[in-house]
Amino acid sequence: MSGLPQPRPDLPLTDELAAVFARMSGLLLSEETVASALGVLSALAQETVPGSSGAGISIIHGQNRRSSGSTDERVRRADSLQYELHEGPCLFAAASRELVRIDDLSTDRRWPRWAAAALPLGLRAAMSAPLIARDSSLGAIKVYADGPDVFDQHSEQLLTLFSAQAAVLVANVQTYDRAKQLSGTMRAAFQSRDLVSMAKGILMGRNSVDEDTAFGILLARCEQEDSTVTEAARAVVDSAVRRRR
């Protein structure tokens, strides 16, 4: 992320993150998918918190857990270990709605199985903040470091402020993605409806019957051919097109 200002301890936190938030506010305008938008968000988190060597976002909805926007394979693997072992800082941060800081994975005893599995990845410190939007916990955003004792109280403040803004964007980008999926479904439904209408019109003209009777003929064809109404309608339309050639 070239051009992104690096955090400066001599500035108030609100000023320090102002440029970061400005970059974040444009994500939905420049990114089309959830994955790409969250990837940009993770990269911004890594650059915002000094000493971070990787970052990512965990989207958690009940037992459905997935990582999005991870900056590298180590982050993805560290997250996957949490889901596999059912323990770790991201899961705890999302459930408790509290920021979690691990100064040294080799000495921290809160999630021993996960820490032991993550250490071989070369990660020594971690910090996770919950993503809370409209009083709902969406998951957690996290940063990792290669050395111990990298994060401090200032890092906590940065990630806390960052996560509050990030949560709004995560909620918005999820809504945007669902809207795209819904619109696609709606388009398919409208196309199917139009196809059925065309087929009914063809059957009405071909058999000199009313609309209800034509639809009955279409349903009978569905049963005979073990097909859906849309498939039967397409077959009727295709046959009419072939006859005109």
93 three-state secondary structure: helix
Residues 166 and 212 in one domain: no
- For residue range 139-197, what is the model confidence (pLDDT) as tens digits? 999 999 999 999 999 999 999 988 988 887 787 776 666 666 656 665 566 567 777 88
- Domain CATH for 34: 3.30.450.40
pLDDT score for 102: 98
Report how far residue 180's alpha carbon sits from residue 159's, in angstroms, rounded to the nearest whole number. Answer: 30
Residue with tokens 């939905």: 28
| Same domain, yes or no: 126 and 239 | no
Predicted confidence (pLDDT) per residue in 198-221, tens digit: 888 788 877 888 888 888 888 888
Q: Can you tell me the distance from the alpha carbon of 130 to that of 133, in angstroms, rounded to the nearest whole number?
A: 10
**23, amino acid identity:** R
Which residue range is the domain that position 114 belongs to? 13-181
Residues 24 and 68 in one domain: yes
Which residue do the tokens 């019957």 mark?
A: 209
pLDDT for the residue numbered 133: 86
Question: What pLDDT score does 70 carry?
Answer: 92
Question: Based on the structure, what is the number of domains in the chain?
Answer: 2
In a shared domain, residues 224 and 147 = no
pLDDT of residue 45: 92
pLDDT at position 124 is 97
In percent, the amount of the chain with pLDDT more than 70 equals 76
